[in-house]
Amino acid sequence: MARMPYPLRSPVRSPARLTSHLLEPTRHLHLAPPFLLDNHTPRYLSLPPTTITHKYSLCHTHLLNCNLCPRLCSTNRYQTTGYCLIPATTVSINTLAPHFGEEPCIQGHNGSGAVFFSGCNLRCVFCQNWDIAHRKNGFDVTPEELGGWMVKLQEVGKVHNINFVTGEHVVPQVVQAVLAAREKGLKVPIIYNTSAFDSLESLELLGGVVDIYLPDFKVWRAESSKRLLKAEDYARVARESIKKMYEQVGDLCFTGDGIAKKGVLLRHLVMPGMEEEGKEIMRWVAGEVSRDMFVNIMEQYRPDAHVGKSARSTKASLGSEQLDGVAVTEQDGERSATTKVRYSEINRPVTGEEVSSVRRAAEDAGLWRFCDPVRHDGFNI
């Protein structure tokens, strides 16, 4: 049973109100006043000119000696590229369109104006976008050109927001694009949709520019992040980054139309056999960041990318045959072969019980704002 959100939702009623309440059906919108905004002006519209100049200068300085993410490549991106494969003056975009695969409060009726970048600073072995994340696979545009596309998404697509997906490696270009779009008439909120493998320097650049942070806190243990994300210090960085994001924009807030306008929405994709890590993440969020964090515990994990592929390093011979990814065992003179696959421990979907156990841990820790299926005719807010 979901925890009742806030005492504010159960005021003492006068007898007259009580009577009318009994006669009329009650709608529960899961919305408490602290999270309801009368209106919202995107933060980038309020930036003073001196801050804008400072941000442009910071963008340039960081790109000259790039330590903008925890990979700390120290490359001059005007001359070469680092781990993320993206230079200084352009970004590589794979898809730019109204997107309907986000949370209801993000996509609304018209969609979220998604900008899917190519390249990434992680190498998740299970990545569902590996074809654009692990390699450069998109069209190159300058920040100014991207700003023009953002305005087009707003004017033609009528999207509710601009949603930068996996932009950890192109933060200076993202900031420059928002500032260019502001000059061209952009007025919808900005979403930064991230793996949370961000640096504090990046988040400083994004401060005052981003309205909503969507961090996906993936795994808790260093052994897991080293093996599955190829980044041993992932969880430490994610903890630091999410705290900084929360410091900037606070809890997720909505306007009366049910669309999120500012704050942090934290995601966690439950992984097979790794529910204990999900529980740790929930306890940390509730204890160290906010019990009012809006949380999406996601269950859509499916094996992808390198997971479940033949383990090419094990080559065995069975009789006259040479086989890739096969382990041969011998017992009582009988030889048998089993196919070995990579990352076999996560080569299956998650179970309902694994997802439920993370949810229970989240509730036990005091979290109560979840992205659940709607039980009314609006958005779940």
Q: Which residues are annotated as a binding site for [4Fe-4S] cluster?
A: 120, 124, 127
Nearer to ligand SF4, 8 or 72 (CB): 72
Q: What CA–CA distance (Å, rounded) separates 155 from 290?
A: 36
Nearer to ligand SF4, 84 or 326 (CB): 84
3-state secondary structure 135-202: CCCCEEECHHHHHHHHHHHHHCCCCCCEEEECCCCCHHHHHHHHHHHHHCCCCCCEEEEECCCCCHHH
Least Cβ distance, residue 61 to ligand SF4 (angstroms): 13
Binding mask 214-253 for ligand SF4 (x = CB under 6 A): ----------------------------------------
Of the candidate residues 59, 69, 206, 231, the single one contacting ligand SF4 (CB under 6 A) = 69
Q: Of 80-109, which residues contact ligand SF4 (CB under 6 A)?
A: 82-84
Least Cβ distance, residue 201 to ligand SF4 (angstroms): 10
Of the candidate residues 169, 239, 262, 369, the single one contacting ligand SF4 (CB under 6 A) = 169
Part of the chain binding ligand SF4 (CB under 6 A), chosen from 69-77, 99-107, 210-218, 359-367: 69-77
Binding mask 110-139 for ligand SF4 (x = CB under 6 A): -----------x------------------
Part of the chain binding ligand SF4 (CB under 6 A), chosen from 75-83, 126-134, 266-274, 345-353: 75-83
List binding-site positions: 120, 124, 127
Nearer to ligand SF4, 69 or 180 (CB): 69
Q: Does 67 sit near ligand SF4 (CB under 6 A)?
A: yes
Of the candidate residues 47, 59, 66, 326, the single one contacting ligand SF4 (CB under 6 A) = 66
CA end-to-end span of the chain, whole Å? 17
CA distance to 68, 107, 117, per residue, from 76 (Å): 12, 37, 20
Of the candidate residues 31, 47, 59, 68, the single one contacting ligand SF4 (CB under 6 A) = 68
Least Cβ distance, residue 169 to ligand SF4 (angstroms): 4
DSSP sequence for 263-314: EEEEEEE--TT-HHHHHHHHHHIIIII-TT-EEEEE------TTTTSB-TT-
Find residue 75's DSSP bridge partners: 66
Which of 299, 325, 328, 298 is CA-nearest to residue 314?
Answer: 325
For 108-145, b where at least 16 C-beta lie within 10 A, e where not — what string?
beebbbbbbbbbbbbbbbbbebbebbbeeebeebebeb
Least Cβ distance, residue 81 to ligand SF4 (angstroms): 7
Phi, psi of 369 (to 5 degrees): -100, 100
For 164-189, b where at least 16 C-beta lie within 10 A, e where not — what string?
bbbbbbbbbbbbbbbbbbbeeebebb
Asked whether the beta carbons of 281 and 220 are under 8 A apart, the reply is: yes
Least Cβ distance, residue 77 to ligand SF4 (angstroms): 6
Neighbours of 26 (CB within 10 A): 6
Nearer to ligand SF4, 76 or 142 (CB): 76
Asked whether the beta carbons of 202 and 168 are under 8 A apart, the reply is: yes
Which position's Cβ is nearest ligand SF4? 82
Q: How many residues bind ligand SF4 (CB under 6 A)?
A: 14
Nearer to ligand SF4, 154 or 195 (CB): 195
Nearer to ligand SF4, 197 or 213 (CB): 197
Which residues would be at the binding site for ligand SF4 (CB under 6 A)?
66-69, 71-73, 75, 77, 82-84, 121, 169
